[in-house]
Amino acid sequence: MKKQLIIQKSKLDTVGLNSLNAFPNQKWPRCMIGMLIMVLLCDVANGSLKAQPISELRAVKITNVDSQVMFEDERIAEAMDFLASVGINTIVPVVWNSNSANGDYPLYPSAVFERYFGTSIHPRFAGRDVLERIVIEAHRNGMEVLPWFEMGFSTSYSQNGGHILQKYPDWALRDKTGKLVVKNGFDWMSNIHPGPQALIREMTEEVVINYDVDGIEYSDRIPAMPYEGGYEPYTVALYQKEHGGVNPPDDSKDPAWLRWRADKLNAWFRSVREVVKKHGAHVTVAASPSLYPWAYAEYLQDSPTWMKDGIADEVIPQLYRYNLNDYAKELNLSLPYYSSYHSKYYAGVLMKVGSYLISAEYLLKLIETNRAKGVMGEVYFFYEGFRTQNNALGNLLKETAYSKPALIPMRSGTVFRPPATFSASKTPLNGTWNPLPETGFKNTTLWRSDEANAQMLYSFSVPFSAWFDVFAHQTTEAGQTAQARYKVFGKMGGADVLVNQTDTRKDGWQKIGSVYLEKGTQQVVQLERGGSTQGVLSAGEVMIMINRKKSPDVVVNILDEKPLPHKKNTPFYVFPNPSSGIKTIEVNLEKRSHVLLEVYDRNGSK
């Protein structure tokens, strides 16, 4: 049974809500309202509110420039915890970016890139797999991951093409005078030449094959080509072949010449979609272009066609503006180009760049503007904006616009990436186990045994039937065993893996197997000593996460609805702010009880 309490107050310009007593001197957020109706729905049986899930894309880009988060595994784990705590549901980490010395490299170990260039990874990430770390830590928190190929078809920044064009000079994008195209400092390779096309497409497919990612994102340099380019020998020869031997127009902005090159870029993008979707229909193809039609005129980015022809699953125009008026203007100009795909349109938001940081007021009004236009999500550039000034903007969103968890719109009302499930119990089977002075994941107890026959059994309350990846958390210390054996059991699959507990490179979560598990309580992992090796056997935390490569169609309807903090005399804020019309304010009650609801304006008056 539900009861409904409706409180109506006219001409309020500020709203605060207290559970028992008034705080007339409390400074509430400013909120200009013509008419406010607050509806409080309480389930009398259990004292909790029945909320409808929100469906919004809330994504953050993470880069290796002007940020240190990608350079240490511990920072990645902490960053993912923080972003999940403030309502983010999607991570967009850069995987293709420039080395300041000599141009672009992948930020993950790439066999494709090594085949082309003899090296596999950006020099600063050698010996690590930062994408693997981000995928594990983001998925542990229930967030999706869309690797971002930021540099696209730009090979370097003001480095004459860098090492890529040094090895493959015929890949260079040339203007009509034969010079390398350099635009806004970026050196370019051709998006029409089959060499660069194959490199980027193969790297994209490699990421989708090697990682359990949820999609990929291309942005303002992919697919893209400055309009000045297209006069390199390969493109000229291809144009001549298709036009009876006629050369391309000298006017690089000739409409038909623009159209011909844009069509080639579109065809390449379609080929990328085909190889991505071959590995899973669930893998999102996202595009975050510059603003159309400017992006078409300057870079041949034909994003309306990407949506019309079903090449991209969602479009995220870069509405990067420094004030609300300019932002709203660009949003209003942009939306009509995608009127038939409104539900797949999200806003690219500039949160921070250089010394610029968006203001709190502008940020909240920007989100309100988006929702008023039916734009149900934001993709922020970039992560550090959430953490500046002691996490001010991240905490602001947590308390206001993103106070409730949100489903990702394209997942049709389901939770595609439920958070990890941790072991329900650890049971010593053999040996004597004692707690270590050190602690493990999130300060959980680490157990140790010196005995040769020591065994620890991990049981799980499996939340649904599916294929799961199984991970063990390692905290390496001197004196531990070099051969810790993890046996993984399931209805299908299984594993028998040795982990070196002395190897500091294995700190954190390590995948130990993939198994099919049915819903219910069951034994999944057994830890024991491998062989006759010496050293302490350490038992830390173990978790399972759904493997979407093997279980793409499993439907999960679990939404971790975090309870709103409910304390005596604690205000509950209204969002959007300012706003008008009907507002719903939700509170969680520890038990069935009477509630006094009081509404105040910004002067503290009822």
| SS3 (DSSP) at 329 | helix
Q: d(Cα 596, Cα 22) in Å, to the nearest integer?
A: 10
Sheet hosting strand 35-43, strand order edge to edge: 2-10, 35-43, 581-584
pLDDT of residue 100: 80
Give Cα 134 to chain centroid, integer Å: 9
How does DSSP assign 509-565, residue by residue?
A: EEEEEEEEE-SEEEEEEEEEE-TT--SBEEE--EEEEE-TTT-TT--------PPPP
Describe the chain by its helix, strand, coil percentages, rounded to 5: 30, 30, 45
Confidence of residue 23 (pLDDT cuts 50, 70, 90): very low
| SS3 (DSSP) at 321 | coil
pLDDT of residue 601: 57
Q: d(Cα 327, Cα 551) in Å, to the nearest integer?
A: 40
More confident residue, 127 or 101: 127
pLDDT in tens, 30-61: 333 333 333 333 333 333 334 568 999 999 99
Domain boundaries, the chain: 1-51+561-606, 54-98+137-153+192-225+257-411, 421-546
| SS3 (DSSP) at 227 | coil
Q: What distances in angstroms separate CA 108 from CA 114, 123, 194, 426, one per listed residue?
A: 11, 10, 23, 35
The pTM for the full model equals 0.85
**Is residue 586 pLDDT above 70, yes or no?**
no
pLDDT of residue 410: 94
- Looking at the DSSP assignment, which residues form a beta bridge with residue 145? 91
pLDDT of residue 486: 97
Asked if 361 contacts 329 with a C-beta cutoff of 8 angstroms, the reply is: no
Q: d(Cα 208, Cα 490) in Å, to the nearest integer?
A: 25
More confident residue, 78 or 582: 78
Helices (H) and strands (E) in the chain, counts: 12, 35
Q: d(Cα 162, Cα 107) in Å, to the nearest integer?
A: 17
Q: Which CATH number fits domain 54-98+137-153+192-225+257-411: 3.30.450.20, 3.40.30.10, 3.20.20.80, 3.40.50.720?
A: 3.20.20.80
More confident residue, 566 or 200: 200
pLDDT in tens, 230-272: 999 999 999 999 999 999 999 999 999 999 999 999 999 999 9
Phi-psi region for residue 11, left (φ > 0), alpha (ψ -120 to 50) or beta? left
pLDDT of residue 239: 98
Asked if 475 contacts 502 with a C-beta cutoff of 8 angstroms, the reply is: no
Q: Where are the alpha helices (DSSP H) in 379-532?
A: 384-399
Sheet hosting strand 215-218, strand order edge to edge: 215-218, 284-287, 314-315
| SS3 (DSSP) at 328 | helix
Confidence of residue 551 (pLDDT cuts 50, 70, 90): very high
Which of 52-56, 269-273, 412-416, 453-457 has the lowest average pLDDT?
52-56
**Is residue 138 pLDDT above 80, yes or no?**
yes
State percent of the chain over pLDDT 70: 83
Q: Which uninterrupted H or E stretch holds 85? A: helix 73-85
Q: d(Cα 166, Cα 156) in Å, to the nearest integer?
A: 11
Confidence of residue 529 (pLDDT cuts 50, 70, 90): very high
Q: d(Cα 472, Cα 528) in Å, to the nearest integer?
A: 13
Q: d(Cα 287, Cα 315) in Å, to the nearest integer?
A: 5
Mean pLDDT of 144-148: 98
- Of the candidates 392, 310, 393, 389, the one whose C-alpha atom is nearest the C-alpha of residue 349 is 393
Q: d(Cα 443, Cα 461) in Å, to the nearest integer?
A: 21
Q: d(Cα 36, Cα 8) in Å, to the nearest integer?
A: 6
pLDDT of residue 437: 83
State percent of the chain over pLDDT 90: 77
Question: For residue 380, what are the contacts with CB-CB under 8 A and spacing of at least 6?
Answer: 59, 60, 61, 349, 351, 386
**Is residue 573 pLDDT above 70, yes or no?**
no
Q: Has domain 421-546 been given CATH number 2.60.120.260? A: yes
Q: d(Cα 519, Cα 406) in Å, to the nearest integer?
A: 25
Average pLDDT of the chain? Answer: 87
More confident residue, 534 or 354: 354
| SS3 (DSSP) at 217 | strand
Scanning the structure block, which residue is given the tokens 């001409």? Answer: 11
pLDDT of residue 52: 61
**Is residue 17 pLDDT above 80, yes or no?**
no
pLDDT of residue 557: 81
Q: d(Cα 479, Cα 472) in Å, to the nearest integer?
A: 19
pLDDT in tens, 149-183: 999 999 999 999 999 999 999 999 999 999 999 99
